[in-house]
Amino acid sequence: MPAHHRTTLADSDPTVAAILNREVKRQQDHLELIASENHSSAAVREAMGSVLTDKYAEGYP
């Protein structure tokens, strides 16, 4: 695996990493009353950021 595939977001783009960290804190500290802004679980976020995002389902029924 190339070295750039093992780079963390914080190492690759500290600005984006900081924005994401602030958003996590905002979601933890505030109650959103908008139904479409439900919080996903850590397990869902982990799966969405996995190697599965390298795949697509085109051509499958």
- 17 falls within a domain: yes
What pLDDT shows up at residue 59? 62
Range of the domain at 45: 3-54
Compute CA 10 distance to the chain's CA centroid, rounded to the nearest angstrom: 13
Tokens (6 digits) for 50:
């996995």
Compute mean pLDDT per 10 residues along the chain, 61 residues long, and list them. Answer: 81 95 91 82 86 73 56
- 11 falls within a domain: yes
- 61 falls within a domain: no
Q: Judge whether 39 and 27 are in contact, CB under 8 Å.
A: yes
- 59 falls within a domain: no
What pLDDT shows up at residue 42? 87
- 24 falls within a domain: yes
- 60 falls within a domain: no
Q: How many domains does the chain have?
A: 1
